[in-house]
Structure 1
Amino acid sequence: MMKRLVYLFLMVLMTACSSIDCPVNNTVATLYQIRNSDGTELKLTDTMTISTVRADENKVVLYNGRDSIILNKGIGISKFTLPISYSHPEDVLLFQFDNNDTDLHVTDTVWIKKNDYPHFESVDCNTAFFHTLTDVKYTCHHIDSLVINNPSVTYDYQTVHFYLYPKSGN
């Protein structure tokens, strides 16, 4: 009888364990690469700060105690990662470029349209949202072009989603 209880306990214990491990890298974000007009990777010489427009208020939230800066004073970078919203059909970003040598202070607005869909791996893991990028629009003060390279945004942190081409001479 005791031997049966031990076997039963072991069976219950083994079936209660999950064989699915939650992913270690569970951040869903977009990767941007800065490029020259010839397609080679470019290090940014201007200081770049990127802010977001809060979708719940539909306005820019800067300098009022609520931090909306998602990349602060990036300089000498050729790649950067930005978060993406979980459940809004469009993200609005403000790319501010500053050059202290020439007193250049320019802001471009970027609109990214996307489809969001939940990603579920196991009851033991948090639900994540993956995205499919569908369109990008932007102003052209400092940005020459911004193109979608890979529209699928998942846990893959090495895939470049956007190529950013600054205007030449910047």
Structure 2
Amino acid sequence: MNNQLIGNIAKRGILLSLLVTGMGWISSCSDIDCSVTNGVLANYVVQGDTLQDTLTVSAIRENRSDTVLLNRMVKTTKFSLPMSYSGDTDRLRFVFTSKTGVTTVDTVTVSKTNMSHFESVDCSPVFFHKLTSVTAKGTRISQIEISNPNVDDDGTKENILIRFTNP
């Protein structure tokens, strides 16, 4: 083979290598770990004894039917709930059902600031939240407080600490 042919083959090899590398960079940009995949949930951590009763949590929605967020959880020490995107306040209905069938209802109100979060044009819109207050009315939730006010796609945070009383 002559030197010119070997040089052309080497140039084509280098160009092909650069093209493949460039394609890898381009395709890696669309492989984003969007927050929607991870989810934006408020993490509740039960303080004291685990809840022995069955717990169902629903979002109370004005002029619309309620939405069940957590259905019949038993013996829990922690749980996660989604938050609304638009409202400054979320109202939640906590329904406790004992082993004997007695039902008790408490209402939790979570006040927050919603912050739109831009990840990438490849990702759906996401809202993070900053908790400003949390209160409970009823007899089964004896204490509720904010532990970490920043609700985002980091699922390891303990956002709300909650303590239940046994009937």
State the TM-score, normalized to the length of structure 2.
0.78
- TM-superposed deviation, 1:47: 0.8
In the alignment, structure 1 residue 43 sits paired with structure 2 residue 50:
yes
2:137 corresponding residue in structure 1: 139
**1:1-170 aligned within 5 A:** 10=19, 17=27, 19=29, 21-23=31-33, 25-36=37-48, 42-54=49-61, 58-59=62-63, 61=65, 68-101=67-100, 103-167=101-165, 169-170=166-167
2:4 equivalent in structure 1? none
Aligned to 1:65: none
Query: CA–CA distance in 2 between the matches of 1:75 and 1:16?
Result: 47
Q: Encode CA deviations 1:119-168: one digit per residue, 9 max, x unaligned.
A: 1122222221111001112103111011111100010112111111012x
Which structure 2 residue ranges, 5 or more long, are not aligned? 1-10
Deviation at 1:22, TM superposition (A): 2.1
Distance 1:152 1:20 in 2: 27
CA RMSD of aligned residues (A): 2.7
Q: Can you give the 5+ residue segments of structure 1 that lack an aligned partner in the other structure?
A: 37-41, 63-67
Against the structure 1 CA distance between its residues 75 and 15, is the aligned structure 2 distance closer, same or farther, given a 3 Å change threshold? closer
Q: Answer 1 or 2: which has greater helix percent.
A: 2
Which structure has the larger Rg over C-alpha atoms?
2
- The sequence identity of aligned pairs, in percent, is 33
**Number of aligned residues:** 153
What TM-score, normalized to structure 1?
0.77
